[in-house]
Each structure stands twice: as C-alpha cells, then as structure tokens.
Amino acid sequence: EPEVTQTPSHQVTQMGQEVILRCVPISNHLYFYWYRQILGQKVEFLVSFYNNEISEKSEIFDDQFSVERPDGSNFTLKIRSTKLEDSAMYFCASSSMPYETVKAYNEQFFGPGTRLTVL
Amino acid sequence: KQEVTQIPAALSVPEGENLVLNCSFTDSAIYNLQWFRQDPGKGLTSLLLIQSSQREQTSGRLNASLDKSSGRSTLYIAASQPGDSATYLCAVGDSSYKLIFGSGTRLLVRP
C-alpha cells in the first residue's frame, strides 16, 4: 500500500543551524502539507502546497521556514536558522484532490515523522 | 477561529468493552472530519474520514458519526482489544483543506 515516507527519522542540530527535512508523498497525490507536534501538545498545521506554490501557511511558518518540491517526488521543509523552540516532531502529509467538486474527499495521509532536536 | 476539543483526555477500560470517544468543534463550517490513531513516538494513522455531507462512517469495529449542526463527532470502538491502546486524534478539515487537531484521547485497554 502506498505510504508517505520521511527522512531522517531523527535530526539533532545546533541552534542557528539550517536543517532540511525530506518527505516523499504518495505518488498520485497533489496536495502536500507539513505539520508539527511539540512534545505533549497538539498537532499544528504549518503549510500546505499545491501546484508548486504555497496554498496556505500558519503564523508559525515565518521567514525562517520554506518549502520546496525540487523534483517530481520529494517535498522538503527547510528551517534556515533553528531555534530551541523548533524542537518538535515534524509530519509530512499528502492528499489527492483532483477536482474542486470532491474537495470533501481530502483524506490526508501522514508520514512517520522526523523528530527534530535543537540543542 | 476553529477550536477542537476531545474528551475524555484519557480512558482506561477492560478488554471487550465498547467505548465512545468524543470530539467537539466550534465552527460548523467544516469540509470533513478525520479520526487518527497515534502510537507513542509514531506517526498518525488515518482511521476514518467523514465528509461534511455524511452522518457516519464505518470501518471494521470502528464507527464515527458527525453532527455538524451541533459541532460534534463520536468515535465508537466495539469490543475493545489491548491492541487498540493508543492516542486517538480528531481533526477537522476547513475550507483551505488544512486539518485542525484536538488534543487527543489516550486510550488504554487492559487485558
């Protein structure tokens, strides 16, 4: 069964360093998302991406964050200068939404996550 | 701003019991509602998706209902098993397709 994959599973970095989290969405999906979950807190939306551009971003997704789909399979989240408070589990998700008339069918499938630890 | 609340926060039941998890949301203008399972330190597994036009959805021992007008959804688990122990998350999908999550219900099914 197709699944979303993420690498690495765990990333440790020093404060101020840049990190890139990688995701391979399900192959025929068109919408891509990043969410994060700080330990003990709710899963929070960061950004959605469709047709090679950002569809929506939350207030968390500031200028330090960027997303890219560098090729036909990968979807990346870059944090330019990490802060201690960026430590969290980052989840990538994808969904298939080929037609506006079936927008209610937007079931999102999540990857296993990347645990980011900023020291 | 949409807020999603789940009660109870934690639940411990003996094996075999039927149980109900509750989810409420403040804005009834949702596109769908999705229930997930999360095991400790793991990703989110989609259990059920209810479209905004549907009242319920079933998968095996799971049944989810949706009452948009009252801003409520329930997840019913029949004949619970120790393998059902996990955190169950409710998430509502809004007009921009993003999901807004509740805090989850941590379920322990005792053998």
Check pLDDT > 60 for residue A113.
Answer: yes
Per-residue model confidence (pLDDT) at position B67: 96
Q: Which of B44, B88, B101 to mutate to test the interface with A (most CBs of A within 10 A)?
A: B44
* Position A104 confidence tier, pLDDT thresholds 50, 70, 90: very low
DSSP code, position A71: S
Distance CA A117, CA A86 (A): 8
Closest chain A residue to the Cα of B30, Cα to Cα: A104
Specify the 3-state DSSP secondary structure of B84: helix
Per-residue model confidence (pLDDT) at position A27: 86
Interface of B with A in 14-73 (CB under 8 A): 31-32, 34, 36, 41-46, 49, 51-53
Mean pLDDT by 10 residues, chain B (111 residues): 95 96 95 94 91 92 96 97 97 90 97 95
Using a CB-CB cut-off of 8 Å, the residues of chain B touching A107 are 32, 34, 46, 49
- Assess A104–B contact: CB distance below 8 Å, yes or no: yes
DSSP code, position A111: -
The pLDDT tens digits for A60-73 are: 999 999 999 988 78
Nearest one of B7, B106, B18, B99 to A36, comparing CA atoms: B99
- CA distances A97 to A1, A94, A105, A106, B68, Å, are 19, 10, 7, 6, 22
* Position A102 confidence tier, pLDDT thresholds 50, 70, 90: low
Using the Cα atoms of residue B43, residue B45, residue B50 and residue B51 in order, give the sign of their dihedral. positive
Q: Which of A110, A114, A116 to mutate to test the interface with B (most CBs of B within 10 A)?
A: A110
Interface of A with B in 41-80 (CB under 8 A): 41-45, 48, 55-56, 58
Using a CB-CB cut-off of 8 Å, the residues of chain B touching A96 are none
Q: Which of A56, A109, A111 sits opposite B98 (nearest CB)?
A: A56
- What stretches of chain A show up as alpha helix (H) in DSSP? none
User: Residue-wise over B29-65: b if at least 16 C-beta within 10 A, else e?
Assistant: ebbbbbbbbbeeeebbebbbbbbbeeeebeeeebbbb
* Position A101 confidence tier, pLDDT thresholds 50, 70, 90: very low
Per-residue model confidence (pLDDT) at position A97: 65
Nearest one of A38, A20, A10, A15 to A84, comparing CA atoms: A15
Per-residue model confidence (pLDDT) at position B49: 92
Q: Which of B44, B52, B97 sits opposite A91 (nearest CB)?
A: B44
Q: Which of A24, A36, A107, A109 to mutate to test the interface with B (most CBs of B within 10 A)?
A: A107
Indicate yes or no: CB of A45 within 8 angstroms of CB of B98: yes
Cβ(A88)–Cβ(A36) below 8 Å:
yes
The pLDDT tens digits for A9-42 are: 999 999 999 999 999 999 888 899 999 999 999 9
Q: What is the mean pLDDT of residues A39-62?
A: 94
Indicate yes or no: CB of B46 within 8 angstroms of CB of A48: no
